[in-house]
Structures are given as C-alpha cells and as structure tokens.
Structure 1
Amino acid sequence: MRIREIIEGKKEWRTHVARVKALPQDYQIVYKEMQKYFFKVGPVELTEGAGLLHGIVDLFEEGAALGKGVLEVTGRDVAAFCDDLIKDSKTYADIHQASINQEVNKAVKKATDKTK
C-alpha cells in the first residue's frame, strides 16, 4: 500500500468518525456496539473500502433525519440485525475453518498414502 493510499484512508476514516459523532446519542451507542460486534465476528468486507460501516452510518443518518429512534431502524435485537447484514459475507472464521479443513485433509491423505 502506498503512502498516498494510507493518507487517503485515514482522511476517509476521520470523515466517517465525524459523521458518527454527528448522530444522536442513541445512534452513536448502537453504532459503537455494532462496530465492536463486527470486529469480533470478523466479516472480511469490513476492512475493504467504504463498505458495511459507511452503509450503516448512511442508514442511521436517514433514520435520525426522519426522527426515528435507533431501535426503530435496527429492531430490538441489534445482534440479529447485524447478523442479517453479514449473512452472505465471508468471515475470517470461514477462512480459518477452510484452512484447518484443508490442513487436516492433507495430513489424512499423507497418512493414508504411507499406510498403502
């Protein structure tokens, strides 16, 4: 990654954070909890470009502009809302599971080949 890309990425992130801070307090709280959840669950797209977090801020800005409370936007089960957003996304857990399965299959094949 080039220096210019890093600088642009930081500027973009600062702008994103400023948008979050401009949201009503209840939206900020839910956004931060969702962000923590996504960092734990690990959807791969989270770190790529504008993506998921920017889309959530867009949605929250619309909800706030309409005078809705954050739970009117997400529903009471925020974790289920998050899961629904990433249901078709590849996660780091998926990548690790595939890697483990591949390594186990190699080891089993190698062991099987030795016994023949």
Structure 2
Amino acid sequence: MSDVEKSGFISKVIGPKKRWRAYKARSRRLPANYRTTVEAIERYVMYFVPTDGDSNASMFEDLADLFEQAAANRTPIREVVGEDPVEFVEAFVQNYSEGGYVPPRARKRLTDSIDRAAGEDTGKEDTTAS
C-alpha cells in the first residue's frame, strides 16, 4: 500500500489527521477514569462501527466535548453512559453512522472497561492506572 493509499485509508477511518491529533490531545488531558471511558468507547467504535472520516472526526470531537464537560461538572461516569454502555455508544454513534454488527465479545469488553472506570460510582474497586 502506497503512502497516498495509507493516508486515504487513515482519513477514512479517523478523519483528517490534524483533527484526530487534537481529539487525542484532549482525551489525554481528561482525568484517568474519564480518559479510560473515552478510550474504551473509541476502541469499540474503531473496530465495530462503519467509518466515514468526516463524521468520525465530528463524533470523536463531540465525545471529547461530552466527557470534558462531565469531568468539569464532576458528573459520575454512570450518569453519562448509563448502566448499559453498549446501548449508550450505539445510540451515540447512530448520529454519525449507519451502524453495523457488533460481536458479543466486543460488547462485553466495552462494558467491563467502563465498569472499571466507573468503579467509584458502583462501589467496585478502580483498577485503572492514573
């Protein structure tokens, strides 16, 4: 695959590189549990939601907006994503894509990651690194 083809593929998946880098910088500045949640959602979306570069760039920017605001207001993660993170993500991405099949294992991984990130909200021990 040539550099031009790679660049086109990357843009199709994540959108323009400059917007992607800005989003990643924003997500890295989030408090640990919010960052873990955003990373879990990002991973889920990247692997299991059909992609369109421009709408994905907007979606990830909106995701960063949502969790920056939640962190600033100290809104518990469970108040943002609810009890079913898969349902939350699928509803969130519906605004940006046409959806697709998501394997049960991916759904469980997303749910488990957010359970860990929301540990202080559910009484479970938080095992994420700061």
1:29 aligns with 2:30: no
Larger Rg: 1
The Cα shift of 1:32 comes to: 0.9
- For 2:43 and 2:89, the matched residues in 1 are separated by 11
Structure 2 unaligned runs (5+)? 102-130
1:43 aligns with 2:25: no
User: Percent identity at matched positions?
Assistant: 28
The Cα shift of 1:87 comes to: 3.3
1:62 aligns with 2:69: yes
**Cα RMSD after superposing both structures:** 2.6
TM-score by length of 2: 0.57
TM-score by length of 1: 0.63
Structure 1 unaligned runs (5+)? 94-116
SS in structure 1 at match of 2:18: helix
- For 1:10 and 1:23, the matched residues in 2 are separated by 20
The Cα shift of 1:26 comes to: 0.7
